Amino acid sequence: MKILLRYCLLVFFTYSVSEGFFLSEAQASTNAINSVRIWPSPSNTRVVLDLENQPQYSWFTLQNPHRLVIDLAETGKKLDLSKVANSSELVTKIRYSTPKSKDAVRIVLELDKKVKPQIFALQPTAPYGNRLVVDLPDNRPGQTNLIEQPVNKRHQDIIIAIDAGHGGEDPGSIGPTGTYEKNVVLRISKKLADLVDDEPGMRSVLIRTGDYYLTPNRRPEIAREKKADLFVSIHADAFTQPQPNGASVWVLSTGRANSELGRWLENTEQHSELLGGAAEIIQDTNNERYLTQALLDMSMDHSIATSYDVGRNILSELRAMMKLHKKSPQAASFAVLTSPDIPSILVETGFISNPRDEKNLNWSKHQHNLARSIFKGIKAHFRATPPDGTLWAKQKPKSRTHKVQRGDSLSELALRYNVSVNNLKRANNLNSDIVRIGQVLNIPQS
């Protein structure tokens, strides 16, 4: 009987060790830190810990000096933190400290000021695995910050907000040879910004100036703070198969627009921001909800109509240099296209999942041609309809009008006034060649 009992205990112990029921001190650390990445941006610093498995963590802050302490349970200390690349002014040092237990690890972020961190775990998303993300707000005096930069005088320049998609922790789509969408769209965005800034009467605002992440909702907020006349988000498309290719332009769908209006109506502070001078007349937006709704509806209708016109112009220019995936602007619920008051478009510059498109997107000359085509489309729109109070509006000759009579047609009127049919349609936001008797048309300059 004793022999049998000893044999059972031996079998159980062997099975338990093999299955992990009894762990040695070294084996207890089931997780591991594979790398640490620090992403400073104009408004915050993000620290990302790449982990083998999902983290079990806790944290607290200390003062004199300022520190953020993170405890990771069942995690080994193998990574050399002294070799982590760090260009953040906020995080002065990252190091280990004495852990709470032998099978844990304690990481200390030494900071140059007090902050309110946000810490959360992320599930694996290609190309990354499990991550622990630490967001540290960092608005400091004298720092280059899109929010704090002085806004250009409104009555001079047409302001174009240029948003390079993704960034930092979010690489966007990845091409067959490993090209990150976030990198190519930033280069295209910077080339577009240079073209805008070289044009008298126009000025660019780069929403993202480097390799860091901004939330989709934050991007149009920055455009609004900078009093932008147009928001252009630059992306590169992708698909599960390599065949699709070509460029496209997207605008806010009506369904998304309606839901966004509901969200905006819940925030009276944003009402005042959107309504401008009208907000001074509407003293109580809660009691005057229907009037507020009507004004926002009109603002949204104008923004969407303008977005379609700009989109058509850009596609017309892109068609001359590359294949189009969609020949007319498409409507969709992209998170960055949420501004009721700012015309907004999203330009897909090609399919990074297509080998040829990926190669072109990495080619500097192709990037420049893309930027120039987008710029020419934007410029054509604002030359025809410059915003009130801008330099271009002051320089624009007084427009001519024509009241349509029986027998008039667009082609005949274009010949009479020495303008093209396309320019005549663009000046009047016409989607077809049909005109009606009594309709008053704006005649653009020849």
> What CATH number should be reported for the domain holding residue 88?
2.60.40.3500
Cα separation, 228 vs 341, whole angstroms: 10
> Does residue 10 lie within any of the structural domains?
no
Does the structure show a pLDDT above 60 at 81?
yes
Q: Are residues 97 and 212 in the same domain?
A: no
What is the mean pLDDT of the segment spanning 123-145?
79
| Under 8 Å between Cβ of 298 and 261 | no
Q: Are residues 239 and 381 in the same domain?
A: yes
> Does residue 3 lie within any of the structural domains?
no
pTM exceeding 0.85: no
- Environment class of residue 153 by beta-carbon count within 10 Å: exposed (0-12), middle (13-18) or buried (19+)? exposed
Does the structure show a pLDDT above 90 at 111?
yes
| Under 8 Å between Cβ of 70 and 107 | yes
**Side chain identity, residue 328:** S
pLDDT band at 170 (very low <50, low <70, confident <90, very high): confident
pLDDT band at 269 (very low <50, low <70, confident <90, very high): very low
Q: Most confidently modeled of 74-78, 261-265, 356-360? A: 356-360
Cα separation, 344 vs 220, whole angstroms: 9
**Bigger pLDDT: 399 vs 9:** 399
For the chain, how many structural domains are there in total? Answer: 3
Q: Are residues 291 and 366 in the same domain?
A: yes
The reported pLDDT for the residue numbered 147 is 41
Does the structure show a pLDDT above 90 at 32?
yes
Give 42-62 pLDDT, tens digit per residue. Answer: 889 999 999 999 999 999 999
Domain boundary among 352, 371, 391: 391
Q: Are residues 404 and 382 in the same domain?
A: no
**Bigger pLDDT: 22 vs 344:** 344
Q: Most confidently modeled of 22-26, 218-222, 295-299? A: 218-222
The reported pLDDT for the residue numbered 399 is 65
The reported pLDDT for the residue numbered 358 is 96
Percent of the chain with pLDDT over 70: 78
| Under 8 Å between Cβ of 265 and 257 | no
Q: Are residues 384 and 403 in the same domain?
A: no
Q: Are residues 225 and 260 in the same domain?
A: yes
Q: Are residues 349 and 332 in the same domain?
A: yes
> Cα 210 to chain center, whole Å?
12
Q: Are residues 415 and 360 in the same domain?
A: no
Q: Are residues 289 and 218 in the same domain?
A: yes
The reported pLDDT for the residue numbered 275 is 45
> Does residue 305 lie within any of the structural domains?
yes
**For position 188, which CATH number holds?**
3.40.630.40
Does the structure show a pLDDT above 70 at 305?
yes
Closest CA to 131 of 248, 19, 213: 213
The reported pLDDT for the residue numbered 261 is 47
> Does residue 147 lie within any of the structural domains?
no
- For the record, the structure tokens of 32 come out as 């591991």
The reported pLDDT for the residue numbered 87 is 92
> Does residue 257 lie within any of the structural domains?
yes
> Does residue 270 lie within any of the structural domains?
yes
Domain boundary among 137, 171, 203: 137
The reported pLDDT for the residue numbered 133 is 92
User: Domain of 128?
Assistant: 31-137
**For position 425, which CATH number holds?**
3.10.350.10
| Under 8 Å between Cβ of 275 and 370 | no
Cα separation, 100 vs 422, whole angstroms: 72
Cα separation, 358 vs 238, whole angstroms: 10
Q: Most confidently modeled of 171-175, 186-190, 253-257? A: 186-190
Q: Are residues 43 and 176 in the same domain?
A: no
Q: Are residues 226 and 368 in the same domain?
A: yes
Q: Are residues 169 and 306 in the same domain?
A: yes
> Does residue 354 lie within any of the structural domains?
yes
What is the mean pLDDT of the segment spanning 34-43?
92
Closest CA to 196 of 158, 228, 234: 158
Instruction: Show the CA angle centred on residue 43, arms to residues 41 and 47, nearest 5°.
Output: 55
